[in-house]
Structure 1
């Protein structure tokens, strides 16, 4: 099922999707100029998820095969100007100074040098990304990453456990990182809390679906399934796998996007008065919807994958 086929219960999802595609079309015009340069942007965030709302940032980091700092920053600047979104926040993951070497994306996965920034970039490339610049190099990197996660030695009955464990690790990293950034680093608490309940959770959930779909498939088939689902946004991925079972959680998600598209609501959620925000009707309403969203995701998951499916054991152990 495609987003365009959804009915009026999902108008905000459809509107955000359409607006995002218009902006992405502008970015696509840059690709020809950067063919064979070995430089590309990995675009993430609400734009890559096609959930663009008022106040969205341009979240993107630069990957380069050869050191070409000026070309890399030129691409980021041109893309930022073309898309017309706010500059990213000061996370260190995104922006014109966020440059990573191509080979670094494939090294130290799970090792002692695998930083929060490294796993974040890797998982965002898999779970919510589109490219600008040298598209062939981006596709090459995505395939190389899947080959790293799903080797030819994996047996048919196994899930893509290496990938699954990194997706789980990434999500837990986000949750821990939230506490640090809001308690010690002074970042806005309310809006980050709500995003954690909705958009970050949907990203994670859609990653679980990718791995669940690799059961009882050859290594080649597992990689093909992952590659196909990687090309979809989290919402598209959930619809593709779950079909109508995705409707209930996506109705809550539609309400979330509606709220995030209201400048006054976003401003209220960025309030520094945490105690007053916690008690506000706006925050409590969003949190209540978030709990229902989580429960409906779980229900859809259990309906789609019966108790004998290996994904249940893999998530628990």
Structure 2
């Protein structure tokens, strides 16, 4: 069993245990909302010290003034959040990042109606929506989760009925690229003003960004490129298939399907480099801090991360082959 498979198994076991412990919250959410994980748990590659990144998303209910609100009422939302906090602590999972600041609740209408608007970034619906599609796993409320996925894909594929034979998902592609660049910009904005004692941990975050977030975004682009190259279109069902896979599973799927040996070898090398990253980060945090405190070790790790970026570029180029969707990604 390689490191990618070991992490998937370990994460799935912990996820199943947590889901069982949240039986009461499952009842509260019934037919109203879902809770999904993103980050390392969503990608099914969590380590022993990984925290849990969660979003709550559900159906909407119409109000008398013409607006809509989430179907899950405020007090029920509080009960679910309290249960999530308690059960994760019981399992020894670190507390939610930002003291719970990012444990947010949206209606599906908020995720879809904000698409392409200035409010998308301000309300954080942009991140919630993209991570839902690119690296999420449902924790509770699976049927609502599937409903939400379908609604969000429908928003991006609105023009598909009139262009079903040659649909290129340009809107989603541009949002994926924007997400990746937002990750990069946010990192740079923070590092400029941080005190020296926090720089080592920030270097580790940057190192992980160059692998995990890059794989999250570009595995989706690689998948879409592959499907478009094979079918000359990308259907909503293709998008659902993509969303049902973790980032590494998308690459593995293409490895099994592709007939071009050169492309297959390029993708296998991409997975090999990613597995090396997972192995490097499987050590205790103190050991990782020590490695990045060493100028030589830190330089070696960053060099490997840059090489992974090269492997991603080679994969995109090998599959895109200069086609129409490839051009949309580049320009």
Fold-level similarity (TM above 0.5): yes
User: Judging changes above 3 Å, is the alpha-carbon distance between structure 1 residues 296 and 206 closer, same or farther for their aligned structure 2 residues?
Assistant: same
Larger-gyration structure (1/2): 2
The SS at the match of 1:286 is helix
- Following superposition, the deviation at residue 236 of structure 1 comes to 0.5
- Following superposition, the deviation at residue 84 of structure 1 comes to 3.7
Contact 1:249 1:293 in 2 (8 A): yes
Q: Distance between the aligned counterparts of 1:235 and 1:131, measured in 2?
A: 17
Is 1:159 aligned to 2:168, yes or no?
Answer: yes
Q: Identify the match of residue 49 of structure 1 among 43, 49, 59.
A: 43
Q: Which runs of 5+ in 1 are unaligned?
A: 1-7, 272-276
- Following superposition, the deviation at residue 295 of structure 1 comes to 1.6
Q: Which position in structure 1 is the counterpart of 2:65?
A: none
Is 1:88 aligned to 2:93, yes or no?
Answer: no
Q: Identify the match of residue 256 of structure 1 among 277, 302, 305.
A: 277
The SS at the match of 2:35 is strand
Contact 2:220 2:242 in 1 (8 A): no
Contact 2:167 2:235 in 1 (8 A): no
Q: Give the TM-score, by structure 1 length.
A: 0.84
Shift >4 Å, 4+ stretches: 216-219
Residues 167-176 or 111-120, more deviating:
111-120
Q: Which position in structure 1 is the counterpart of 2:302?
A: 287
Contact 1:242 1:304 in 2 (8 A): no
The number of aligned residues is 297
Contact 1:54 1:260 in 2 (8 A): no
Residues 256-265 or 141-150, more deviating:
256-265
List per-residue Cα deviations over 1:62-118 (Å, max 9, x = no partner).
Answer: 2243242332233344345155421232287633xx222332111121212111622
Contact 2:168 2:228 in 1 (8 A): yes
Q: Give the TM-score, by structure 2 length.
A: 0.81
Q: Which runs of 5+ in 2 are unaligned?
A: 59-69, 257-263
- Following superposition, the deviation at residue 172 of structure 1 comes to 0.8
List per-residue Cα deviations over 1:126-154 (Å, max 9, x = no partner).
Answer: 00001122222111111011110012233
> What is the alpha-carbon root mean square deviation over aligned residues?
2.5
Residues 73-82 or 159-168, more deviating:
73-82
User: Judging changes above 3 Å, is the alpha-carbon distance between structure 1 residues 231 and 93 closer, same or farther for their aligned structure 2 residues?
Assistant: farther
Q: Which position in structure 2 is the counterpart of 1:133?
A: 140
Q: Identify the match of residue 202 of structure 1 among 215, 231, 237.
A: 215
Q: Distance between the aligned counterparts of 2:241 and 2:326, measured in 1?
A: 23
Contact 1:229 1:237 in 2 (8 A): yes
- Following superposition, the deviation at residue 16 of structure 1 comes to 1.1
